[in-house]
Structure 1
Amino acid sequence: MIRTLLIVMLAAIPLSGCEKSDNNQTVTDVVAPKAPSYPARTAAERARDKYRHPAETLMYFEVQPDHTVVEIWPGSGWYSAVLGPYLKREGQLIAAHFSASTEVPFFQKTRRSYIDRFINNPDVYGKIQLTELMPPEKLSIASPGEADRVLTFRNVHNWMRNDQEQAVFDAAYLALRSGGIFGVVEHRAPPDFGREQMIETGYVTEAYVTQLAINAGFEPAGHSEINANPKDTRIHPHGVWSLPPTLRGGNTDLTYFESIGESDRMTLKFRKP
C-alpha cells in the first residue's frame, strides 16, 4: 500500500524539473507507456520495474530531459532503454561502455549487442554517444565538465575486482559540471563486510561507496530506500548472483531465491561542488 501510494504521488508531480519535456513526455511515460507496442522497452524489462523502480530512481537523481547524462557501463542497456527515449529530443545520453579493444568475450558480446540495439536505432533511442571505460587505461567517459548527471547501476563491485573503483569515481567527478549529480545504485552489504567479502559476494557497504565519492571530491547529497529489499538477507551461497536475474544456483532453492526477488540496494546521491 505504501509503495502504491508513493508511485501515485510521484506520477502526480507537476510536469516540471525532471518530468517535463517538449512533447509532454515524462519519465513515467517512458517507463510504463500506455501503448503495448511501444518499441523502446521489452516486456521482460518492464517486468523488472518492481525491483528497480526506474521512474522513482531517475526522479531522485533529478534527471531532466535536457540534461547530458553519462551512464557508466550500461551493459545490455536496461537503463538505456529508459534514458535514451527520455533524453533524445532535448538532452544527450553518453554510454561509457566497455572498450572496443577488450579481450573479454562477455564484454565483446555485450558491447556489440548494445551497439546493434541502441546506437543503430536513433529513431527510438536518440543519438547516443558511445565512449569507453576500461580502467586504468581508458577513463575519459566524457569531456571535463560536460555532464549534468553521471549514473551507474550495480557496478561498483565489478571495479573492485581490479582495484579500479576509486579511478572510476574520480573519472565521474571530472566529467561532471559544478553542481552536477553522481547517482549510484549498488547491492548493499551489511556494515561489517570487509573488502574481500564485498568482492566475493557482490554486496558493497554504503560507507565504502560514500568514502570513494568523498575521496573523489563529491559531497554526499542524500540516500534513498527506493531500491531497498528487506527480504534479502545478503548471505547466499553464490553471493548476490544467487538471486534473480542470475540464479546461479540453478534449481537449488530456486523457489526461495525467486521469492526474495532482486537484491537489497542502496541508492546514493553525490554532488560536485
Structure 2
Amino acid sequence: MNRLVLPALALSVLALPILPLAAQHAGHAGHQAGDPLAAAVAAPTRTPANVARDKYRHPVETLKFFGVAPGQTVVEYSPAGGWYTEILAPLLKGNGTFYAAQAPGRGFDGLKAKLDSDPATYGDVKLVPWTLRLTSIPAGSVDTLVTFRNVHNMVMGGTEAATFKAFFDVLKPGGTLGVVDHRLPEGRDSALEKSSGYLKVSTIRRIAETAGFQYVGASEVNANPKDTADWEKGVWTLPPTLRNGEVDKDKYLAIGESDRMTLKFRKPN
C-alpha cells in the first residue's frame, strides 16, 4: 500500500519484502479480480524478465499512487524498452488513450519494433516522437504523464527545464505528473547529480515547480534502504546494469535496484 507523505512531512524509508517470482504471480492473480491495474500487471503478454523486476518497481502501487486508470489519456515519457508500456497498453486498450513518447533514434526504432510485433496487445498505442518542440500530442489533452528513471538523464544533458515545460503544456489543468528516479541523499554534493545517475528530491521539486507544477506528495513504495547511493560507477553499479560485471556481483544483487523517489505533481487548474 502506498504511503502519501504531504509536503510538510519528512520522507520515511520502508523496507520492502522481496518475493520470489512465483509468489509475485500468485499475488497478482489474487488481486486482479475487479482491479484493471492488477489485471494489466498480471497480463500474460508481459516479458518474464520484466515481471521478475516487479519486486523492485512495484507497478501496481506506483501507478495507483499516480492515479493512472482506464478512461484516461496517459503519456509515458521515454519508455525505452517498454517495461511500463507492457502494463499501460493493456490497461488502456479500448478504454483510454495511451501515448508512448520516445525521442527519435535507435530507442524509438526498437520500441516501434516491439509494438509492431504484437498488434493484439499494442495496436492502440500511439507511438510519437518526442522532441522539445513536441506538437503531436495536443496541448492540454493529457490526464496523467509518467516518467520512470529519466530525469537524471535530462539533468546530465541540461534539458530538464525545456522537458518539464513540455510536460506542463500537454497536461490538462488539474492533470498529474508522476516521476520515479534514483534518489541522492540531500546532504550529498549536488555535483554528483551530473554524473552518478542519482538526484535529490529537492532538485526534482525545483525543476517541476519552476515549470509551474504544484507538489502533491511522495510515496516510499520504491525506496531501498540498502542502496547507499555512493558507488564509484554511479547507479549503474547496481542491477540491472551491473557495470562491474562479475566483480562483487552477488553483493550488488543482494542490494537490489536503486533507492528511488516516487513523486507526484499537479498542474494547477
Q: TM-score, normalised by structure 1?
A: 0.84
1:132 CA displacement: 1.9
The counterpart of 2:245, out of the listed 247, 250, 268, is: 250
Residue by residue over 1:202-232, the C-alpha shift from the partner in whole angstroms, topping out at 9 and shown as x without a partner, is: 0000000011111011111110001000100
Summarize deviations over 1:8-56 as a string: whole Å, max 9, x none: 8xx76995xxx4xxxxxx11111124xxxx22x0110100000000011
- For residues 220-272 of structure 1, the C-alpha deviation after alignment (integer angstroms, 9 at most, x for no partner) is 11100010001001011210000000000111111111100000000000011
- Distance in 2, Cα, partners of 1:250 & 1:76: 21
Q: Compute the RMSD of aligned alpha carbons.
A: 2.2
Take 2:201 and 2:15, find their aligned partners in 1: how far apart are those partners? Answer: 24
Q: Give the Cα–Cα distance (whole angstroms) in 2 for the partners of residues 141 and 186 of structure 1.
A: 26
**Structure 1 residue ranges without an equivalent (≥5):** 20-25, 103-107
Structure 2 vs 1, CA of residues 54 and 63 (structure 1 numbering), >3 Å: closer, same or farther? same
- 1:97 aligns with 102
Query: Aligned AA for 2:149?
Result: R
Distance in 1 between residues matched to 2:233 and 2:15, nearest whole Å = 32
Which structure 2 residue ranges, 5 or more long, are not aligned?
A: 1-13, 18-23
Q: Structure 2 CA distance, aligned partners of 1:181 and 1:215?
A: 16
Question: Is residue 85 of structure 2 the alignment partner of residue 80 of structure 1?
Answer: yes
Partner of 2:157: helix, strand, or coil?
Answer: coil
> Using the alignment, how far apart are the partners of 1:247 and 1:141 within structure 2?
36
Contact 2:32/2:39 (CA < 8 Å) preserved in 1? no
Partner secondary structure for residue 257 of structure 2 = coil
How far 1:119 moved relative to its partner? 4.3
Matched, 1:239 2:249: no
Seen in structure 2, the aligned counterparts of structure 1 residues 240 and 224 have a Cα distance that, compared at 3 Å, is same
2:115–2:122 CA contact under 8 A, matched in 1: yes
| Worse-matched range after superposition: 169-178 or 193-202 | 193-202
Normalization by structure 2: what TM-score? 0.85
Take 2:136 and 2:67, find their aligned partners in 1: how far apart are those partners? 20
Shift of 1:125: 2.3
Work out the CA distance in 2 between the residues paired with 1:192 and 1:139. Answer: 36
Per the TM alignment, residue 134 of structure 1 is displaced from its structure 2 partner at its CA by 3.5
Q: d(CA) in 2 for partners of 1:13 and 1:124?
A: 18
CA 1:218–1:78 in structure 2 vs 1: closer, same or farther (change >3 Å)? same
State which of 128, 131, 136 in structure 1 corresponds to 2:128: 131
- AA aligned opposite 1:181: T
Checking the alignment, whether the CA contact within 8 Å between 2:156 and 2:193 is kept in structure 1 is no
Q: Does 1:169 align with 2:164?
A: yes
- Please tell me whether residue 263 in structure 1 is matched to residue 258 in structure 2: yes
Q: Residues 196 and 248 of structure 1: is their aligned pair in 2 closer, same or farther, counting only changes over 3 Å?
A: same
Alignment partner of 2:193 out of 195, 198, 211? 198
